[in-house]
């Protein structure tokens, strides 16, 4: 097994932000794995929080020019981050889950029009959560099952955001993982083939769609 030298981040705050991201992933799945891609002075970390059916991506700038691509335990990687020192120890690789073999393309992304602002996106998520709770409370006792609750959740979170084609579950994931910025900070939506990517200053949410009808804005 190849042992990598510790990673040194360009800013200690990036180490802290990456640790916060990994903490949220492990909260959803204690056995979570992440795929790491390093190159060009940057590290990209890919994770897949359960139930959202999306990929979450967090990047960080590195001091050293290193290049590697491997899948590791999210919890072990989190344990190896020294926030105050701005560095991290990369744990040994693990057998990756199926999703780790299918990542978004590196290029070919085109902007998608129609994305509302962050306050509107937060409001849509809040309304969807409220609707789920209301419908759950209205279920008769004989239908108060995990299967029925999952069906309601799938119906709500499969709805798309305006005319963008972006499922609400992607926006929900962005908010739950701390990717939606406060106020009116810029966010953008891009498409590349069957992929959509919601990009914010704190990370990205990507997902592969089966069929899309998108309004792609000219460059």
CATH code at position 68: 3.10.150.10
Say if residue 84 is in the same domain as residue 116: no
Say if residue 141 is in the same domain as residue 204: yes
Q: What is the pTM of this model?
A: 0.89
Residue 103 lies in a domain: no
Say if residue 74 is in the same domain as residue 128: no
Q: Tokens for 12, please give them.
A: 């200690």
For strands 33-39 and 7-8, give the pairing: unpaired
User: What pLDDT shows up at residue 113?
Assistant: 93
Residue 57 lies in a domain: yes
Say if residue 118 is in the same domain as residue 202: yes
Residue 195 lies in a domain: yes
CA distance 210 to 194: 7
| Domain-ending residue, one of 94, 122, 156 | 94
CA distance 38 to 36: 7
Max Cα–Cα distance, the chain, nearest Å: 59
- Could you list the residue range(s) of the whole structural domain that residue 134 is in? 110-208
CA distance 41 to 58: 14
What phi and psi, each to the nearest 5 degrees, are found at residue 194?
Answer: -85, 10
| Domain-ending residue, one of 44, 66, 94 | 94
Number of structural domains, the chain?
2
Mean pLDDT by 10 residues, the chain (219 residues): 80 94 94 95 95 94 93 97 95 92 93 93 95 92 88 93 93 94 85 96 91 39
CA distance 3 to 39: 17
Say if residue 139 is in the same domain as residue 62: no
User: What pLDDT shows up at residue 168?
Assistant: 96
User: What pLDDT shows up at residue 210?
Assistant: 65
Say if residue 198 is in the same domain as residue 135: yes
């Amino acid at each position: 097994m190849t042992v990598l030298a510790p990673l040194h981040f360009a800013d200690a705050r990036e180490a802290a932000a990456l640790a916060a991201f990994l903490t949220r992933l492990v909260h959803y799945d204690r056995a979570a794995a992440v795929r790491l891609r390093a190159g060009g002075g940057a590290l990209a970390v890919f994770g897949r929080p359960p139930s959202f059916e999306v990929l979450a991506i967090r990047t960080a700038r590195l001091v050293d020019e290193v290049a590697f691509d491997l899948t590791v335990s999210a919890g072990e990687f989190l344990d190896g981050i020294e926030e105050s020192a701005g560095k991290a120890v990369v744990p040994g690789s693990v057998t990756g889950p199926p999703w780790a073999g299918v990542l978004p393309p590196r290029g070919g992304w085109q902007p998608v029009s129609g994305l509302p602002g962050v306050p509107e996106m937060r409001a849509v998520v809040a309304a969807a959560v409220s609707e789920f709770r209301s419908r759950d409370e209205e279920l008769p006792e004989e239908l108060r099952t995990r299967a029925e609750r999952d069906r309601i959740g799938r119906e709500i979170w499969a709805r798309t955001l305006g005319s963008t084609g972006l499922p609400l579950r992607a926006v929900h994931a962005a908010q739950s993982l701390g990717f939606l910025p406060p106020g009116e900070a810029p966010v953008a939506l891009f498409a590349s083939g069957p992929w959509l990517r919601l990009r914010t200053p704190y990370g990205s949410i990507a997902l592969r769609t089966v069929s899309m009808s998108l309004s792609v804005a000219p460059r």
